[in-house]
Structure 1
Amino acid sequence: MRIITTAALLAGCTTSVVAWGAAGHEIAATIAQIHLHPSVFPNMCAVLNFTSTNPNEPQCHLAPVAAWADKLRYKMRWSAPLHYVGAVGDHPSQTCAFPGTRGWEGKQNGNVLGAIRNVTTILEDSVYYRETGKTSASQYDAANEALKFLIHFMGDLHMPLHLTGRDRGGNSNKVRFSNRQTNLHSVWDGLLIAKALRSVPRKYSQPLPSPKIEYALRGTIYDSYVRMIMWEGVLGKWEHDIPTWLTCPAPTGTRSVSFAFPSSFGAFWRQAQLVWNRVMGGTMDTDDDLICPYYWAQPIHALNCEIVWPKALDEPPYNNTRLDGASSEHSHHEFVSPDTELAQVDSAGRFVAGPVGGPYLELDTPEYSGVISKQWIVEKLLAQAGIRLAGVLNYLFADIEDPEEAKLWSRGLRIDF
């Protein structure tokens, strides 16, 4: 079992990490759910072992398991490096290497890029064995964990600070947000989202004229935020960009994977094509022409030099605010619920008062958080995470006879809102 092999290889690892906070992971998962083909639900929910007790909620939801990998991180120490990736020599904002000439830090493929490839392959295998009626209890358990990891890792991939190893992804860099001491990672982890949740126009507290969107919502504190992202972003400013979000360039010298495989041989031939792609070469052995975490991550990583990592942190007086004795490993904070995350920001969008030290760089400014908000950077990352996750799940679990129709759903080009 691949997941057991990975655990064995990484046994003894003691790091842990959180990317988006619980709210960010759940928002991305909710956006993914909106974009799923109807036939995905029975197959996906069977893997998640979901049984509804609410007659008005017959389908399972992705959001409740989106932060599962963080909640149980103390029991899964081996999984810690799989939440992020760092390149040797990567040092934003001055240098953004991904990976550059010196490769990746840590063990080969023992990062979020390799993890997405790994758990997707486990799920491909589980689909094949389920279709042939040969699924064992151990394979069922592996598929259950792999799916929950996939939902989580796709969120991790879209948090820029999880794509750099500098200063533990910004955990070691003290800053201020609304005059309160925090760190750069925590600003992106939840504070920017918490602040954004407080600024959603009131009109989005009401249902949208889209049953598919509303059916995916669960009466949470971020429902209005999801509505706004969908209405103004996915169905608005990004509508014509979404097909490019799901594009994977075919590795040089390979042919495109066909969706016309007989159902009983689908997983086998998809795996054979993946092996062929890797033998023939390509930028990363994590990528093929259907699922390409490295290709998707490149522009997200570039944000670290463009805006995420303030240049002022490398200049006096803020270049001496790094935590003393900090290791090179990513760190974490205690898992908190979306409601707790939101409570950090008051109704006026100000960070609730807390300890102040310094001098620390203030990031809740028009030049930093203001630009991020105005350009919808966080909202776009959450939407990309959700739509790419939906594309992968549609590819894995949708029962669609027409191969062209299947391709449209896996590429986010066929959705009825």
Structure 2
Amino acid sequence: MFQKKRVVLFLIFLVSHVHSFGFVGHQIAAAIGQRFLSPKAFRNVFELLPKEAHGNLSYIAAWPDQVKHTPEYRFTSPMHFISPPNDYPPNNCTFSWSPGKYDLINAIHNYSNRLDPESDPNFWPRAEALRFLVHFIGDLHQPLHITARDRGGNGSPALFEGHHINLHSIWDSSLIYKRIREFNENSTFDYNLTEIDNQFNSSEPLFGGPFYDLYLGYIIHLMKTTWRQELSSWTICQEDFELSTEFSCSPNQFHFTSTNVSSEYFTVSPMDQNISHSVACPEFWAIQINELNCKVVYNGYEPKLDLSIGTYYERIVDGKIIEKLLAIAGIRIAAVLNTILG
């Protein structure tokens, strides 16, 4: 029997650079995760990052994509996704996995265990594990990384802003870039970036410059306000936990654990781990993400329909689906790192 463990997330609450979830998507998820690291976890993360990262977790978030086709790391390519048997959205969304295979679920368990200081005292195996773990948790929150249809949507031709690409690329990058661009051009949202930077667990600002600063600030704002009551549910390891189709913020659509909120910390204590192979529980989290392929990703999909406009895109924007997937990925990155390193 696997040792029972609890994922304890100390969220430092703010009072005041490819494929697979896209380069920027991985950076944003890591940037969110870093904001919710406990002080001890951040110190340990800092030591495992290269010096040129200046303590910024987002610096290494896309590294596994950059090396997965090199001879040394080619074996990791299948770890970026999982293709559940009998899964074919939108007709059928079903998730299952088998321990020991080369896939996304097993990779998250493997690198969670390898990051544990007790697993290997040497620097590089644990630094390498950190890079893969942060990236793979990000991949888990791109729905097409956990479907069997058309090689995760790579074989689903699609049209976006007049360009012929595939559905996987749209959900990896195109939607995120479009949201950032529209937000920068049209949003009246004004967030105090200086205030955010002053509360960073980093030696230098983590923001990516003018490109996605405002968008990242907006997601953090949603986490502090609209989704505040939901944060404790995002790290729950529970098979019957459900995400609503529209990613609604209605509290009665989520399961909760007891919380203790102070001015600085938001403590979350999910259920004990008695099934997972590590402190993470991607096999539970993947169930709800997989269901989004039926409810959202392939719902209304037509190869000749431009998915950057009309009902398909409006549903994604109105439901804040991209923003919430990035936020949940970030929270879960923090939860796992706080448990292992905090």
* Shorter-normalised TM range: 0.7 to 0.9
Does residue 1:43 correspond to 2:82, yes or no? no
Instruction: Determine if contact 1:39/1:397 at 8 Å carries over to the other structure.
Output: yes
SS of structure 2 residue aligned to 1:361: coil
Q: Distance between the aligned counterparts of 2:159 and 2:93, measured in 1?
A: 24
Aligned to 1:79: 76
Q: Distance between the aligned counterparts of 2:100 and 2:86, measured in 1?
A: 16
Aligned residues between the structures: 284
Q: Distance between the aligned counterparts of 2:79 and 2:320, measured in 1?
A: 27
Q: Distance between the aligned counterparts of 1:147 and 1:204, measured in 2?
A: 33
Does residue 1:188 correspond to 2:183, yes or no? no
SS of structure 2 residue aligned to 1:198: helix
Instruction: Determine if contact 2:22/2:172 at 8 Å carries over to the other structure.
Output: yes
SS of structure 2 residue aligned to 1:209: helix
Aligned to 1:66: 61
Residue deviations 1:218-268 (CA, integer Å, cap 9, x gap): 42511111101111x101111000000011249xxxxxxxxxxxxxxxxxx
Does residue 1:386 correspond to 2:330, yes or no? yes
Q: Distance between the aligned counterparts of 1:179 and 1:219, measured in 2?
A: 28
SS of structure 2 residue aligned to 1:240: helix
- List gaps (5 residues or longer) in structure 2: 1-17, 240-271
Residue deviations 1:348-395 (CA, integer Å, cap 9, x gap): xxxxxxxxxxxx222122211111011100100000001110111111
**Displacement of 1:298:** 1.0
Matches within 5 A, 1:398-409: 398=342
**Displacement of 1:109:** 3.2
Tell me the C-alpha RMSD between the 2 structures: 2.4
**Displacement of 1:115:** 0.5
Residue deviations 1:104-150 (CA, integer Å, cap 9, x gap): 6xx843211111110010111xx1267xxxx2xxx322111111001
Instruction: Determine if contact 1:90/1:96 at 8 Å carries over to the other structure.
Output: yes
TM-score normalised over the length of structure 1: 0.63
Does residue 1:291 correspond to 2:289, yes or no? no
Q: Distance between the aligned counterparts of 1:293 and 1:128, measured in 2?
A: 22
Aligned to 1:24: 25
TM-score normalised over the length of structure 2: 0.77
Q: Distance between the aligned counterparts of 1:208 and 1:295, measured in 2?
A: 37
The residue type equivalent to 2:199 in the other structure is K
Instruction: Determine if contact 2:235/2:335 at 8 Å carries over to the other structure.
Output: yes
Moved over 4 A (4+): none
Does residue 1:230 correspond to 2:213, yes or no? no
Matches within 5 A, 1:238-277: 238-249=227-238, 277=274
Q: Distance between the aligned counterparts of 1:388 and 1:209, measured in 2?
A: 24
- List gaps (5 residues or longer) in structure 1: 1-16, 53-58, 251-272, 319-359, 399-417
Percent identity (aligned): 35
Matches within 5 A, 1:312-323: 312-313=301-302, 318=303
Q: Distance between the aligned counterparts of 1:248 and 1:129, measured in 2?
A: 23
Aligned to 1:115: 107
Pick closer, same or farther for the CA change 1:94–1:208 going to 2, 3 Å.
Answer: farther
Residue deviations 1:249-299 (CA, integer Å, cap 9, x gap): 49xxxxxxxxxxxxxxxxxxxxxx97xx3xxxx4xx44x6x4211111111
Does residue 1:302 correspond to 2:297, yes or no? no
**Displacement of 1:49:** 3.9
Aligned to 1:97: 94
Q: Distance between the aligned counterparts of 2:301 and 2:176, measured in 1?
A: 23
Q: Distance between the aligned counterparts of 2:210 and 2:41, measured in 1?
A: 23
Instruction: Determine if contact 2:161/2:307 at 8 Å carries over to the other structure.
Output: yes
The residue type equivalent to 1:387 in the other structure is I
**Displacement of 1:192:** 0.6
Aligned to 1:396: 340
Instruction: Determine if contact 1:83/1:156 at 8 Å carries over to the other structure.
Output: yes
Which structure would you say has the larger RCO, counting Cα contacts within 8 Å and 6 or more residues apart? Answer: 2
Q: Distance between the aligned counterparts of 1:370 and 1:35, measured in 2?
A: 30
SS of structure 1 residue aligned to 2:152: helix
Q: 1:145 aligns with which of 118, 121, 128?
A: 128
The residue type equivalent to 2:59 in the other structure is P
Residue deviations 1:75-114 (CA, integer Å, cap 9, x gap): 1210011111111111001111112xxx66xx84321111
SS of structure 1 residue aligned to 2:164: strand
Aligned to 2:153: 170
Pick closer, same or farther for the CA change 1:23–1:51 going to 2, 3 Å.
Answer: closer
Instruction: Determine if contact 1:18/1:83 at 8 Å carries over to the other structure.
Output: no
**Displacement of 1:41:** 2.6
Q: Considering only CA atoms, is the larger Rg found in Structure 1 or Structure 2?
A: 1
